[in-house]
Amino acid sequence: MRASLAFAFAVAVVLLIPSIASSGSELDDGVLTFNEAWTLTRQHSPQRAAAQAQVDAARFRLQAAAGALLPSVTVQSSYARLSELDPTAFEIPGLGSLQMGEAIPNMYTNSVEVSQPLFTGFALTQARRAAACSLDAAQQDARLVEMDLEIALEQAYFGEVAAAGMLGAVMQGIATITAHRELVLKLEEVGLATHLDVTQADTRLAALEVAKVEVESARNLARLATHFLTGIPLGTVFAIQETVDSRPTPELNPGVLLQEAYAARPELLALAHMVDAADAMARIEAAALLPSVGAQFRYQYDRPNQRIYPMVDEYDGTWDVSIGLRWTVFDGFAALRRSQAARREHQALARQLDHVRDLIALDVAQRAVEVQAANGRVVASTAALRAAEEYLRVAKERYEVGDTTNTDVLDAQTAETEARVKLIQAQIDLRLASVRLMKSLGRDPE
């Protein structure tokens, strides 16, 4: 019975979904639509919150890198107490004693310094570029997290929808065989059926009861996954929509699909941004080989001000402006080797882009094939269900007039139940295949 496949599918869903602590959530009308579940999942997801925190951190690093291009202002203030000393005095013939300043035990210093880098080998502009690329990469990583969340929720939510549909098919089969068993019992009473016919019906009923338990378990597991994803507390009672909505799929033109994926896949875009960041880092390392030039303005307001002679115990202000050049002429080739290493790291990342493009091409092709196959299964399963329904109708009518056997009726009922289950599974497979295709193209969740 295909219901066992649904059970295995739901188990896989739960195993694939990371544990998420549940939080409170209220449902206004007791019905949880998929869009509502998606909103709750985005609000609740720790993975999404962590990805957004990484985006915020990258944005702050970009702001810090941009700030390094601006002047820096430093304010300093200090106090020092000196030991008591007699002031220095000189004897000048004919003039007497000349005292050099006065003994000042308390020293107060206050200064404001403004520094501005004038040339750093373009290290500061490259640092800002690297930070901007890191921010872009973090944003693409956040997009990927949302896509993965959507697929997890699709599997959980519509896994329950599928299980509910399969349960309905099984219950319908149980009702049909139960009614047939009642007919067989009446025929047995008049000698037109045997006890073997009754036991055959009982055997089919038992198999359907087992399938019912399996499908109910699959539904419960899918509901549990939905609880964990959305943060709805366990025990909260809610209903879900009863049908599998179809997802629009693009025209399955391999060239068009691949170009869209190359332009929008977050993994590829994130890696491209990291390649640009690596290039910027290599340029920063190369900047260490060049001289750096900076300017500084300083204003001193000290008591006493040691630039004023002789020193007196009162506040005085002085200022100075300077331009400095610093150039490490030789450091054992350390800066050169760091620059070479950074350039090789950039080249290694750039080579990975080609590999990721190949993986994306394979992924898009596989997802397109899955959608085609799922579409075909839906069409074939629909036709199979119609045929099985007609088979069951004819078998029941012929049995009632004694023109066929009990086994034929039971086989027809089993075929009808299995065809109904297969159609439901084909429909859920088509929806999930469409969602995976959208992710492979880099389309954001709706």
440, 363 contact by CB (below 8 A): yes
Whole-angstrom distance, CA of residue 381 vs CA of residue 420: 8
**Burial classification of residue 334, based on how many CB atoms lie within 10 Å of its CB (0-12 exposed, 13-18 middle, 19 or more buried):** exposed
Question: What's the structural domain count of the chain?
Answer: 1
Q: Is residue 138 part of a domain?
A: yes
Q: What values do phi and psi take at 437, rounded to 5?
A: -65, -40
406 Cβ contact list (under 8 Å, min separation 6): 184, 193, 197, 200, 201, 399
Q: Is residue 344 part of a domain?
A: yes
**Burial classification of residue 290, based on how many CB atoms lie within 10 Å of its CB (0-12 exposed, 13-18 middle, 19 or more buried):** middle
Q: Is residue 425 part of a domain?
A: yes
Structure tokens at 255: 């060239």
pLDDT in tens, the chain (446 residues): 433 434 343 434 444 444 333 334 456 568 899 999 999 999 999 999 999 999 999 999 999 999 999 999 999 999 999 887 666 666 667 666 655 556 788 999 999 999 999 999 999 999 999 999 999 999 999 999 999 999 999 999 999 999 999 999 999 999 999 999 999 999 989 888 899 999 999 999 999 999 999 999 999 999 999 999 999 999 888 898 767 766 777 788 888 999 999 999 999 999 999 999 999 999 999 999 999 999 999 999 999 988 887 788 899 999 999 999 999 999 999 999 999 999 999 999 999 999 999 999 999 999 999 999 999 999 999 999 999 999 999 999 999 888 889 999 999 999 999 999 999 999 999 999 999 999 999 998 87
Please give the angle made by the CA atoms of 348, 280 and 340, to the nearest 5 degrees. 55
Check residue 3 and give its pLDDT.
Answer: 39
Pick the closest to residue 209 from 181, 167, 179 (CA basis). 167
CA distance between the termini of the chain: 35
Check residue 24 and give its pLDDT.
Answer: 41
Q: Is residue 446 part of a domain?
A: no
**Domain boundaries, position 367:** 3-82+97-440
161 Cβ contact list (under 8 Å, min separation 6): 240, 241, 242, 243, 244, 428
Q: Is residue 90 part of a domain?
A: no
Distances (CA, A) of 246 to 149, 365, 374, 435: 19, 21, 12, 10
Q: Is residue 34 part of a domain?
A: yes
SS3 sequence of 127-155: HHHHHHHHHHHHHHHHHHHHHHHHHHHHH
Pick the closest to residue 301 from 288, 280, 278, 319 (CA basis). 319
DSSP category for residue 99: E
Whole-angstrom distance, CA of residue 362 vs CA of residue 360: 5
Whole-angstrom distance, CA of residue 300 vs CA of residue 108: 11
231, 20 contact by CB (below 8 A): yes
Q: What values do phi and psi take at 205, rounded to 5?
A: -65, -40
Q: Is residue 9 part of a domain?
A: yes
Please give the angle made by the CA atoms of 66, 50 and 346, to the nearest 5 degrees. 50
Whole-angstrom distance, CA of residue 395 vs CA of residue 391: 6
CATH code where residue 361 lies = 1.20.1600.10
Model pTM score: 0.81
Q: Is residue 89 part of a domain?
A: no
